[in-house]
Amino acid sequence: MKIVVLDGYATNPGDLSWEGLQEFGELTVYDRTSAELTLERAAGAEVLISNKVFLGSAEMASLPELRYVGIQATGVNVVDLEAARKHGVAVTNVPAYSTNSVAQHAFALLMELTRGVGRHAELVKQGAWTNCPDFAFQETPQVELAGKVFGVVGFGDIGRATATIAEAFGMRVLVHTRTPDPQAFPDTEFVALDQLLAEADVVSLSCPLTPETEGFINAERLATMKNSSYLINTGRGLLVDEEALATALSRGIIAGAGLDVLSQEPPPAENPLLQAPNCFITPHLAWATRAARQRLIDDLVANLRAFLNGELRNRVDR
């Protein structure tokens, strides 16, 4: 059986092993594959592993041997699932592999916004403390989280994990989700989105990208937030109207933003958020701890083994 990993570099830049997939057949791993090279590299493969390489109806029609696509992610928008069903191609994803890593990163962004750890450490290296007349100094306001309100939009695995961390900091947690379940989570305070935005000191986005959520953090909703509040986005870049957020930061409508995702990745130089004040952007690495990437590979192997054994593990084409 021919197995091709079309874009493996982000998952495994060289510190992990693909040997788990080798037990199933002949394995070829490409770091990256452009759209122009997809059909050439996928030719003859029964199994394709993809992260960001799109596989649609045209590709599947041109790959008659293809039986299975394993997505190296939780999101499934890189595969046309209707086309997969039409062509009899099984598709799996990997849910929940990065939950703890992403939740941790959300708070790393929040720590930078509220305490400026990196900024102050750099100032010390530059001599600012050495030349300071006092025993301590601060360039940015130092904000304590205890007693603040943490608003979570989306209450899947990552949303629940960030809520748990917020509670450990002594924060009151508000949750907005499409499917509130007070019986399953009796201690959770489920609220409408408008209430969450108005009351939260921190708004953390953990919801999926859908037609309803695309751009839903817009100028109108940003205007309802406290001018001392922070926006954290470790979900999807397109959840946020970036022009509106840049304007809100420039005008002091909100106090700051911590983002691990943008609408286009890598971002073009003209993205307004790259120059927005008090906006910390990391390059979509919240998921990318070594532990999370190892779980991802382990699940890719387990998904393929299950498929070959006739089991429906993490199937998203059904």
* pLDDT for the residue 241: 98
CATH number at residue 112: 3.40.50.720
In the sheet that 172-176 helps form, which strands lie side by side, from edge to edge?
189-190, 172-176, 149-153, 202-205, 230-233, 256-259, 279-281
Same domain, 182 and 127: yes
Do residues 258 and 113 lie in contact, with contact meaning Cβ atoms separated by under 8 Å?
yes
Q: Tell me what the pLDDT averaged over the chain comes to.
A: 97
Q: Which of 105, 221, 236, 295 is catalytic?
A: 236
Residue 69 placed within a domain: yes
Q: What is the pLDDT averaged over residues 298-314?
A: 97
Same domain, 145 and 37: no
Q: Per-residue confidence at 280, pLDDT binned at 50, 70, 90?
A: very high
State how far the Cα of 79 lies from the Cα of 63, in Å rounded to an integer. 14
Residue 313 placed within a domain: no
Residue 89 placed within a domain: yes
Catalytic residue check, 265: yes
Q: Domain limits at 246?
A: 99-281
Do residues 197 and 223 lie in contact, with contact meaning Cβ atoms separated by under 8 Å?
no
Q: Is 75's pLDDT higher than 90? A: no
* pLDDT for the residue 131: 96
Same domain, 83 and 28: yes
Catalytic residue check, 65: no
Same domain, 263 and 146: yes
State how far the Cα of 177 lies from the Cα of 144, in Å rounded to an integer. 27
Same domain, 103 and 93: no
Residue 274 placed within a domain: yes
* pLDDT for the residue 243: 98
* pLDDT for the residue 248: 98
Measure CA of the first residue to CA of the last residue in the chain; give whole Å. 24
Same domain, 264 and 132: yes
Same domain, 82 and 42: yes
Helix/strand/coil (H, E, C) string of the chain? CEEEECCCCCCCCCCCCCHHHHCCCEEEECCCCCHHHHHHHHCCCCEEEECCCCECHHHHHCCCCCCEEEECCCCCCCECHHHHHHHCCEEECCCCCCHHHHHHHHHHHHHHHHHCHHHHHHHHHCCCCCCCCCCCCCCCCCCCCCCCEEEEECCCHHHHHHHHHHHHCCCEEEEECCCCCCCCCCCCEECCHHHHHHHCCEEEECCCCCCCCCCCECHHHHCCCCCCCEEEECCCHHHECHHHHHHHHHCCCCCEEEECCCCCCCCCCCCHHHHCCCEEECCCCCCCCHHHHHHHHHHHHHHHHHHHCCCCCCECCC
Same domain, 115 and 249: yes
What's the pLDDT tens digit per position in 184-243?
999 999 999 999 999 999 999 999 899 999 999 999 999 999 999 999 999 999 999 999
Same domain, 121 and 176: yes
Q: Number of C-alpha atoms within 13 angstroms, CB side, residue 201?
A: 15
What's the pLDDT tens digit per position in 17-73?
999 999 999 999 999 999 999 999 999 999 999 999 999 999 999 999 999 999 999
Same domain, 195 and 258: yes
Cα separations in angstroms, 242 against 43, 77, 198? 39, 21, 20
Same domain, 81 and 157: no
Q: Number of C-alpha atoms within 13 angstroms, CB side, residue 113?
A: 29
Residue 317 placed within a domain: no
Q: Which of 41, 284, 305, 315 is catalytic?
A: 284
Catalytic residue check, 176: no
What's the pLDDT tens digit per position in 238-252?
999 999 999 999 999
pTM: 0.93
Q: Which residue has the higher pLDDT, 75 or 146?
A: 146
Instruction: Please give the structure tokens belonging to residue 302.
Output: 């387990």
Same domain, 90 and 121: no
Residue 86 placed within a domain: yes
Question: How many structural domains comprise the chain?
Answer: 2
Do residues 286 and 73 lie in contact, with contact meaning Cβ atoms separated by under 8 Å?
no
Q: Which of 19, 144, 167, 265 is catalytic?
A: 265
